[in-house]
């Protein structure tokens, strides 16, 4: 237990700062950091040493963050679906068409291979900058821009091919 307390003391700030860059929210970063160390403590015996402890902890943190994004997306998708069932006297047909198109884009993007799927999500769902996306992957801003462009092209090609 003392060893894990040392790990916590050494890496807490690094993990929190990493999450703050991802979330842009101090409270969310603190919440995920706490969950990260809780999960790490329960899984420390499975740490293989193929990466540094800091890298391992940041990977756990990133996975927790991505899980939260997925849950938020599921909730949003369910809300959108429920909203589509409510008749809108103003222009229901146009609104429905737009929601169906948006749904098709999200479904197609969800089928992209990594890293395209995550880059697409970070850019168009979370409104992250290319600089933030590049930093998230440990790559350049230009890499993020090119990867996002390729993901967008793939989604566009898939949707146009199915019309």
Three-state helix/strand/coil letters over 52-72: CHHHHHHHHHHHHHHHHHHHH
Packing angle between helix 130-137 and helix 2-23, nearest 10 degrees? 150
CA-to-CA distance for 49 and 97, rounded, in angstroms? Answer: 51
User: What pLDDT was estimated at residue 130?
Assistant: 84
CA-to-CA distance for 145 and 5, rounded, in angstroms? Answer: 40
pTM as predicted: 0.47
Q: Looking at the predicted structure, is the pLDDT value of residue 1 above 80?
A: no
User: 108 and 137 share a domain?
Assistant: yes
User: 99 and 71 share a domain?
Assistant: no
CA-to-CA distance for 98 and 89, rounded, in angstroms? Answer: 16
User: 72 and 2 share a domain?
Assistant: yes
User: 36 and 71 share a domain?
Assistant: yes
Q: 43 is in which domain, residue-wise? A: 1-86
User: 40 and 101 share a domain?
Assistant: no
Where does the pLDDT of residue 5 fall: very low under 50, low under 70, confident under 90, or very high at 90 and above?
confident
Give me the half-sphere count of Cα atoms (radius 13 Å) on the Cβ side of residue 40.
Answer: 28
Cβ 125 vs Cβ 150: under 8 Å: no
Residue 123 is part of a domain; what is its CATH number?
1.10.10.10
User: 102 and 141 share a domain?
Assistant: yes
Which domain-ending residue is among 68, 86, 104?
A: 86
Where does the pLDDT of residue 19 fall: very low under 50, low under 70, confident under 90, or very high at 90 and above?
very high
Cβ 134 vs Cβ 119: under 8 Å: no
Q: How many domains does the chain have?
A: 2
User: 143 and 163 share a domain?
Assistant: yes
- Contacts with 22 (C-beta within 8 Å, 6 or more apart), sequence order: 29, 61, 62, 65, 136
Residues 118-126, mean pLDDT to the nearest whole number = 86
User: 62 and 6 share a domain?
Assistant: yes
Give the helix ranges, DSSP H, for 85-139: 92-110, 116-124, 130-137
Where does the pLDDT of residue 77 fall: very low under 50, low under 70, confident under 90, or very high at 90 and above?
low
User: For the chain, how far is it from start to end, CA to CA, in angstroms?
Assistant: 59
Residue 2 is part of a domain; what is its CATH number?
1.10.1740.10
């Amino acid at each position: 237990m003392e060893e894990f307390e040392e790990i916590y003391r050494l890496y807490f700030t690094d993990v929190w700062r990493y999450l703050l860059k991802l979330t842009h929210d101090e409270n969310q970063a603190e919440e995920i950091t706490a969950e990260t160390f809780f999960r790490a403590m329960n899984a420390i015996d499975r740490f293989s040493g193929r990466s540094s402890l800091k890298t391992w902890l940041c990977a756990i943190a990133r996975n927790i963050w991505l899980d939260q994004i997925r849950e938020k997306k599921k909730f949003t998708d369910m809300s959108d679906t429920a909203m589509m069932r409510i008749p809108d006297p103003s222009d229901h047909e146009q609104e429905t068409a737009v929601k169906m198109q948006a749904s098709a884009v999200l479904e197609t993007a969800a089928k992209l291979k990594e890293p395209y799927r995550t880059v697409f999500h970070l850019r168009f769902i979370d409104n992250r900058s290319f600089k933030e996306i590049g930093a998230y992957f440990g790559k350049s801003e230009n890499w993020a821009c090119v990867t996002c462009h390729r993901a967008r092209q793939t989604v566009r090609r898939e949707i146009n091919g199915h019309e």
